[in-house]
Structure 1
């Protein structure tokens, strides 16, 4: 079980928010830079076509809270790995992640480094 459902901007929000609502758990957005209003943690990461950055509010996850990450697609795994890093930096315990689509040829599952990683559709 988890305490928080975190969604990765932006299409991850579409899936994470209703999951959190259905489970009656808080939803935490993990966003691209410059979109969160208060103190935040950030992480830079590499993509196959460049680089990216993600941010989370410093107080969004309390130490020891169990977090489940949600995103729309798993390609190279860089975004999920960065989001997992933010969860851990904030003191959270990453209990797993779920994606709608996994592009298996890109081996993103290995890059993400998340033990309990679920995908609904694999291409």
Structure 2
């Protein structure tokens, strides 16, 4: 079971937070294959042109699923990491703000875009990523996560999208 390989790291990155470490899942070939296969199966009958993954752990599964779905992969990154012209979105965090960027030519008007990340917590990063994609004319077909922390109500910020998660806490 995938959930059994998620390791809890107390007080990381700061006191009071229990970090969900997916490294053991990544180290296990059959678990890694199962994750990619489950995402692929979920979206195999939908038209997906592009998968967008947010920095940094959204990069882990996105390219493999994109290959399986015959789709492209586009990274959403922190400021200054992308070499071409970018569109950016600043969003609120619990303790301030953060900004994400995407290449302006990464999404074409009408592209069907699957958003994929490792974790849905408060939903801020994914909501900002979705707004970025939509600002470029993309159509969000769904938001997929390896792990969802239900108690943080991240779905509330993503209520207009189809949400799928493999593991829930």
Q: Give the superposed CA RMSD.
A: 1.0
1:15 Cα deviation after fit: 1.0
Preserved contact between residue 48 and residue 69 of structure 2 (Cα < 8 Å): no
Aligned counterparts of 1:109 and 1:71: Cα–Cα separation in 2: 14
2:40 is the counterpart of 1:4: no
Counterpart among 88, 94, 106 of residue 42 in structure 1? 88
Stretches of structure 1 that go unaligned for 5 or more consecutive residues are none
1:49 Cα deviation after fit: 3.4
Preserved contact between residue 96 and residue 114 of structure 1 (Cα < 8 Å): no
1:112 Cα deviation after fit: 2.4
Number of residue-to-residue matches in the alignment: 123
TM-score, reference length from structure 2:
0.70
Choose between structure 1 and 2: higher strand proportion. 1
Stretches of structure 2 that go unaligned for 5 or more consecutive residues are 1-46
Larger Rg: 2
Counterpart among 106, 109, 118 of residue 152 in structure 2? 106
SS in 1 for 2:60: helix
2:75 is the counterpart of 1:29: yes
Aligned counterparts of 1:88 and 1:20: Cα–Cα separation in 2: 19
Deviates more, 1:19-28 or 1:100-109: 19-28
Q: How does 1:75-86 map to 2 (within 5 A)?
A: 75-86=121-132
**What is residue 15 of structure 1 aligned with on the other side?**
61
Choose between structure 1 and 2: higher helix proportion. 2
**What is residue 113 of structure 2 aligned with on the other side?**
67
